[in-house]
Amino acid sequence: MKTILAYGDSLTWGYSPEGGGIRHPFVDRWPSVLEAGLAGQARVIAEGLNGRTTASDDFTAASDRNGVRVLPTLLDSHRPLDLVVIMLGSNDIKTFVTGSAFAAANGMKRLAEIVRTFPYGSGEVPQVLLVAPPLTAKSPRNDHPASVSPRTADDQLFDHYYALAAKEIGAGYFNARRWPRLRRWTASTSMPPIHVRSARGWSPLLNPCSASRPGSQFISGGPHG
């Protein structure tokens, strides 16, 4: 059985749009739905942290939110790994972090470099799949937080810069913008969790029957990238 590390922020952690730190049930989080959709071909380890950035410090929280600094420890903890899926960047565009999708893309390249150069010992180097985060959206009950606006338009640039970064380093790439518009700050509880809807798109992405899709080759033992 293959092993996937899902490395991300609140989307991977399972943060609920209800707010207040409420977390989606385990079975509804996208890494859990992805694992179920792969039907025993792989297990998915969820390593999500609210507020995590690609490579920038944020000292407003008690935990270390710098993705670059934390990743090596997690690679060592969970090895051997076959694939590392990195979906970060939404917190990078906060005005007090970098406010820039371009900077986030550079952080993603650094994360991929860490995955590929970490001293795994006798284990093989895992493949890397970069994922551009979904778009953010205003809520009927709550506008974008002041920490993100007015630079929220940078989420429109994730696909452009992340696709270029993935091509440059020869990594797999997926644009989560293909998922329904993210409602991170929506208070409505009537809509199905974004995690369930989005993760249903991951199964065919990594399914060995879809060899033309990025990331699919890791299941069948294909080459990196």
Give one DSSP letter per residue of 110-123, joined into a string. HHHHHHHHS--TTS
Higher pLDDT, 196 or 126: 126
Q: Which residue has the higher pLDDT, 109 or 148?
A: 109
| Cβ atoms of 9 and 48 closer than 8 Å | yes
Between the two ends of the chain, the Cα-to-Cα distance in Å is: 20
Nearest 5°: the CA angle 33, 176, 212 is: 85
- Among residues 200, 223, 201, the alpha carbon closest in space to that of 211 is found at 223
pLDDT digits (tens, 9 = 90+) for 193-210: 445 555 555 555 565 433
Q: Helices 67-78 and 101-117 sit at what angle, rounded to 10 degrees?
A: 30
- At 219 the pLDDT is 42
Per the model's pLDDT, the better-predicted residue between 215 and 61 turns out to be 61
State the Cα–Cα distance between residues 195 and 11, nearest whole angstrom. 7
Kindly state the average pLDDT of the residues 92-116.
Answer: 93
Look at 107 and 22; give whichever has higher pLDDT: 107
Give the model's pLDDT for residue 210: 37
DSSP percent split of the chain into helix, strand, coil, nearest 5: 35, 15, 50
* Residue of 127, 135, 122 lying closest to 185 (CA atoms): 135
* Between residues 177 and 45, the one the model is more confident about: 45
Side-chain half-sphere CA neighbours of 67 within 13 A? 35
At 101, list the tokens. Answer: 């999708």
**Contact assessment for residue 1 and residue 218, using Cβ atoms and an 8 Å cutoff:** no
